[in-house]
């Protein structure tokens, strides 16, 4: 796996991690995917959501998640480097 692959995979979320971040159920996130409201890819047999697609959905639909959105931006910009 090259460096670009690693970066790409770090920007992918499982349904479970997306649900945890949004503070909703996994069923809610699965429904968003099924209804085509959040795009996804299949990687290693599992549905994965690109972090920026989830951010876009939150920005457009869930204004009450400003704190979650800020946290996701920090992660993507590298400001939240808890894993060294």
38: domain CATH number is 1.10.1660
Residue 9 lies in a domain: yes
Phi (first) and psi of residue 45, to 5 degrees:
80, 5
Question: Domain tally for the chain?
Answer: 1
What pLDDT was estimated at residue 84? 45
Question: Residue 68 is encoded by which pair of tokens?
Answer: 């979650």
**Nearest-angstrom CA–CA distance, 4 and 20:** 26
**What is the per-residue pLDDT across 49-81, written as a single tens digit (0 to 9) for each?**
999 898 888 888 766 667 777 777 888 787 655
Residue 45 lies in a domain: yes
Q: Which domain holds residue 45?
A: 3-77
Judge whether 14 and 48 are in contact, CB under 8 Å. yes
DSSP state of 44: T
Q: pTM of the full predicted structure?
A: 0.64
What pLDDT was estimated at residue 11? 85
Residue 33: count other Cβ atoms within 10 Å of its Cβ.
15
């Amino acid at each position: 796996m090259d460096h670009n692959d690693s970066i790409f995979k770090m920007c992918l979320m499982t349904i479970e991690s997306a649900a945890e971040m949004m503070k909703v159920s996994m069923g809610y996130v699965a429904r968003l995917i099924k209804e085509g409201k959040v795009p996804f890819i299949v990687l290693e047999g599992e549905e994965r959501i690109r972090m920026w697609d989830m951010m876009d959905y939150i920005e457009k639909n869930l204004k009450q998640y400003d704190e979650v959105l800020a946290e996701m931006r920090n992660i993507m910009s590298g400001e939240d480097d808890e894993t060294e």
